[in-house]
Amino acid sequence: MTHVLTVIAAPGTSILEEASADGLRRVLSAAGAKVGAFAWLSEGEAFDLRFAGLTAERAQALARAHLGDLPVDLAAQALRGRRKRLLLADMESTIIEQEMIDELADAAGVSAQVADITRRARHFWPAGRRTSWRRSPAA
């Protein structure tokens, strides 16, 4: 297999079933792909489906059309080079629900001071403007 299609639902939703993968297998096969077995990454939440014979873009478009409004993310990509050695991510309020600066401040007993700095920083950074600094009147 040359590619993999990853289907990801929101954590805790368990909306994906083996039938979801079977349906995608049939759709990709009908489009001329050779499709392998699927593998759960997290049961009910994410799985990989390996395939060959279609571009990643075509497979992803077919998957989206087949899954319709099912609230999932799709990523089709080449297997070669897929495994990365380093991941950089802004995890706060995306991958995790907490703002770590607040958690660290709480653990250090300086929550009020950090909250004040955060409030002032939000007023200092102009809304919608990312290229220059301008102090707002509220700062």
Residue pLDDT, tens place only, 56-91: 999 999 999 999 999 999 999 999 888 777 777 777
pLDDT at 28 over 80: yes
- 90 phi, psi to nearest 5 deg: -90, 100
Q: How far is CA 2 from CA 34, 51, 76, in A?
A: 10, 6, 11
- Any idea what DSSP says for residue 27? H
pLDDT over 90 percentage in the chain: 55
Do 58 and 27 share a structural domain? yes
Do 9 and 74 share a structural domain? yes
Residue 130 lies in a domain: yes
Q: What is the pLDDT of residue 96?
A: 74
Do 68 and 134 share a structural domain? no
Single out the residue in 78, 104, 128 at which a domain terminates: 78
Do 122 and 67 share a structural domain? no
Do 68 and 19 share a structural domain? yes
State the Cα torsion 125-130-132-137 to the nearest 10°: -30
Q: How many domains does the chain have?
A: 2
